[in-house]
């Protein structure tokens, strides 16, 4: 994670957004804006979904996790 943060500081075209809210305990979502979104399940068996469909990808890109108080 420290390498990713350093890369984001050195490259102005790279945007790193870290969400500290754990909406999904077992999922990781990576987005290459306008290209694809990848949803990975961490626990065994590991499963990865690459989404190219424009409407679904856009929905994932603009997802706002629910606020937990």
Q: 12 in a domain, yes or no?
A: no
Give the DSSP per-residue string, 16-32.
-----S-S-SSEEEEEE
**Three-state DSSP class for 54?**
helix
CB 46 within 8 A of CB 40: yes
Q: 13 in a domain, yes or no?
A: no
- Which pLDDT score, from 0 to 100, does residue 56 have? 95
What distance in Å separates the CA atoms of residue 61 and residue 58, rounded to the nearest whole number? 5
Q: 2 in a domain, yes or no?
A: no
The two three-digit tokens of residue 29, written as one number? 């979502």
- Which pLDDT score, from 0 to 100, does residue 42 have? 83
Per-residue pLDDT 10s for the chain (69 aa) are: 889 889 989 998 888 877 776 677 888 888 888 999 999 998 889 899 999 999 999 999 888 777 666
Q: Determine the structural domain holding residue 50 and report its residue range.
A: 23-69
Q: 8 in a domain, yes or no?
A: no
Count of domains for the chain: 1
């Amino acid at each position: 994670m420290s390498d990713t943060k350093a890369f984001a500081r050195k490259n102005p075209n790279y945007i790193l957004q870290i969400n500290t809210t754990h909406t999904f305990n077992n999922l990781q979502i990576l987005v290459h804006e306008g290209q694809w979104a990848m949803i990975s399940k961490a626990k065994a068996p590991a499963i990865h979904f690459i989404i190219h469909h424009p409407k679904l990808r856009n929905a994932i890109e603009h997802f706002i996790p629910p606020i937990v108080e």
